[in-house]
Amino acid sequence: MKPIARTEQQLGAIIRRERRRQELTQQQLGARIGLRQATISKLERGEPATRLRTLLDALTALGLQLVIEERETAASADIGALF
Amino acid sequence: MKPIARTEQQLGAIIRRERRRQELTQQQLGARIGLRQATISKLERGEPATRLRTLLDALTALGLQLVIEERETAASADIGALF
DNA sequence: TTACTTTATACGCTAATGCGAATAACTTGT
DNA sequence: ACAAGTTATTCGCATTAGCGTATAAAGTAA
């Protein structure tokens, strides 16, 4: 499954889910990319002013990547956002 | 085609490509989301400290969305990065 | 070349990240 | 309940986005 993220909150939730799936703490994830546990916390909670670099670093550390595609209809996107 | 973005530069390039495809100026795109032309310029040039919000707003204004998936092999990702 | 449009930069300002360091607050297991 | 682990939040500090405004610089068309 490939989750869609239209908001910082969705993005943060996806990162948290994947981090936990890999059984990493925020501390450990942060250590991999030179970010503090507190910063990972803010990222996962969806702080809107988070820096792009922080997001990309976290995704990379988790073995994830971004794909940009055309927006789906609201309906199908919302279904994805439920989980 | 769904471009992959692992860096701010790639992300900026994708946005620029789509903006031009829709025949919008930076000025016009910025106006849609309350950002200055100068800010769009920095986003497209790949400033690493750009705010997540700025990126998401721009994508939304262009009818794009983010999908998060597992990282591909370096080879296939690099091919995508060429364009 | 000349005129016009578009994009890149600059200055001073405010606001907010991310830092180190520390500490609440919340979870989980025993 | 208790201890241990994990996550959320705070303080002061340095850095930088994005703002308004403005202007260079680059691109495009005649």
Taking CA atoms, B25 is separated from A39, B29, B59, in Å, by 35, 6, 15
Strands of A64-70's sheet in order across:
A4-5, B64-70, A64-70, B4-5
Q: How far is the CA of B27 from the C1' of C12 (A)?
A: 23
Q: For domain B8-81, which CATH number applies: 1.20.1110.10, 1.10.260.40, 3.40.190.10, 3.40.50.300?
A: 1.10.260.40
Q: What is the mean pLDDT of residues A31-46?
A: 95
Backbone phi and psi for residue A47, each to the nearest 5 degrees, phi listed first: -60, 120
Cβ of B65 within 8 Å of Cβ of A70? The answer is yes
Please report the number of interchain residue pairs, chain A to chain B, with beta-carbon separation below 8 angstroms. 110
Q: What is the mean pLDDT of residues B32-61?
A: 93
* Both structure tokens of B3: 């471009």
- pLDDT of res. A57: 94
**pTM summary value:** 0.85
A50: CB within 7 A of chain C nucleic strand: yes
What is the rounded (10 degree) CA torsion for B16, B18, B22, B27? -30
The rounded Cα B46 to chain-centroid distance in angstroms is 9
Is the CB of B6 inside 8 Å of chain A's CB atoms?
Answer: yes
First-residue to last-residue Cα distance in chain B: 11
Domain residue ranges in chain A: 8-81
Is the CB of A11 inside 8 Å of chain B's CB atoms?
Answer: yes
Q: How confident is the model at residue A1 (pLDDT cuts 50, 70, 90)?
A: confident
- Judge whether residue B75 has pLDDT over 90: no
